[in-house]
Amino acid sequence: MSRIVHVNGSFVPEEEARVSPFDRGYLFADGVYEVTAVIDGKLVDYAPHMERLDRSLGELQMDWPCTKDELREVHEELVRQNGIEEGVVYMQVTRGVAEREFSFPENTPTTLFAFTQEKALIDNPKAETGVEIVSVPEIRWQRRDIKSIALLAQCLGKQQAKEAGAYEAWMVEDGMVTEGTSSSAYIVKDGVVITRPLSNSILPGVTRRTLLALAAERQIRIEERLFSIDEAYKADEAFMTSASSFVLPIVEIDGRKVGAGAPGEITTALRRLYLESARSAG
């Protein structure tokens, strides 16, 4: 059975989906996106994802493609029609179709496209073993707080990780870790969870937001500050978060073992807390 996708108000089989080659998302990467996890057929952290979407659209002077209630219905209907119990909904909004000109067109409707992907989020074997990562230079633009569809720098970093036999790449600027190509970055030292504070330098991760709140409720100590790649090499634990991996342990950075080289106690506890929260909220 063909996957059903959503394009500008219509649910269609993926092979029938059509977007104009003159869409500014195609010509300029002029758009934003969100990825929302699905557990037990329910959307996870949907409200904060839409808050971030609203901010991204506002920063780029773009209109919502439909009402907020209609957009939630799009997500829920895609999950229902595709029978997704566990996976993600990817949704992107672009500035729409117009003659190629760098400045923004006037009175141009935005383009909405959304689809689902089945993924093993809960019983992810990498959560049991942990993953290896590499560090790469930070080469992105200065508005990383906007969830832009312009992801070439992240693709280059992810490819470098793949060629090194690693799962993810942490981007490093002036010796300091910013974030992963598709994840937020954390280390643990002496029982303290350390992660970079929010700014234009990193994306305000939704999973990050939820996890830090859960950690604070359990009196797990948190420091939001810059940390260096050298500090990461010497950490007791390291992990990443994202909507598609939740909390994933890191056991090796640039060929150096992190801590004991196995998922750490705090990382494991945080993953359990997040999963419990996500399932109870759904």
Active site (catalytic) residues: 147
Q: Please state, as a whole number, how many other Cβ atoms lie within 10 Å of the Cβ of residue 236.
A: 17
What ranges in 63-146 are assigned the alpha helix state H? 68-81, 125-129
CA separation for the pair 254, 206 (Å, rounded): 27
CA separation for the pair 115, 126 (Å, rounded): 25
Q: What is the DSSP string of 147-176?
A: -BS--HHHHHHHHHHHHTT-SEEEEEETTE
Which of these, 91, 34, 40, lies nearest to 275 by C-alpha position? 40
Rounded CA Rg of the chain? 19
Helices 46-59 and 68-81, packing angle to 10 deg = 130
Which string of b and e fits 70-97 if b means at least 16 CB within 10 Å? ebeebbbebbeebebeebbbbbbbbbbb
With helix as H, strand as E and coil as C, how does 211-257 read? HHHHHHHCCCCEEECCCEHHHHHCCCEEEEEECCCEEEEEEEECCEE
Name every residue whose Cβ is closer than 8 Å to that of residue 156 and which is 6 or more positions away in sequence.
Answer: 136, 139
Task: Please report, for the chain, how many H helices and E strands are present, in that order.
Answer: 8, 15
What is the token pair recorded at 267? 């990382």
